[in-house]
Amino acid sequence: MKYLLPIFGIMIGSIITMNALAQNSPGLTFNISNPQDAQALYQTLTNIKEEGAAGHSYRKGRSILCWRANADMNDAHGKPIPSDDARRYGCSMHIDSNGLAKPGEQF
């Protein structure tokens, strides 16, 4: 019975460690912050169901997530940003440690 306590402790420690490592998704998140590139990518994602929430439209491909801000926006000087302006677009991609690319998260 005395010998079961250390084994039980090792098992619990292993479970906690595996859960902690599973929470972190190792890899690289690639955010496309150049508005013209993000706009071009968004427009090339065709034949994809467009989803939307809270003033944004999302297009999610197999390996990339792109979005467009639909809400009224102003620039730093208080001037309205036109609805077709490239500054309304963004894209993100996550590449895991195995080299598999999947859609990222909005930044």
Q: Which domain holds residue 50?
A: 27-103
Does 50 map to a domain? Answer: yes
For the chain, how many structural domains are there in total?
Answer: 1
| Better-predicted residue by pLDDT, 23 or 3 | 3
Q: Is residue 12 part of a domain?
A: no
Tracing tokens 């084994």 back to the chain, one arrives at 7
Q: Which of 19-28, 31-40, 66-75 is predicted least confidently?
A: 19-28
pLDDT of residue 25: 62
Say if residue 17's pLDDT is above 90.
no
Query: Which H or E run includes 41?
Result: helix 35-44
Judge whether 19 lies within some domain. Answer: no
Q: For residue 68, what pLDDT is reported?
A: 92
Average pLDDT over the chain, rounded to whole? 80
Answer yes or no: is 5 within a domain.
no
Whether residue 107 is predicted with pLDDT greater than 80 in this model: the reply is: no
Overall pTM surpassing 0.85 (yes/no): no
Does some domain include residue 61?
yes
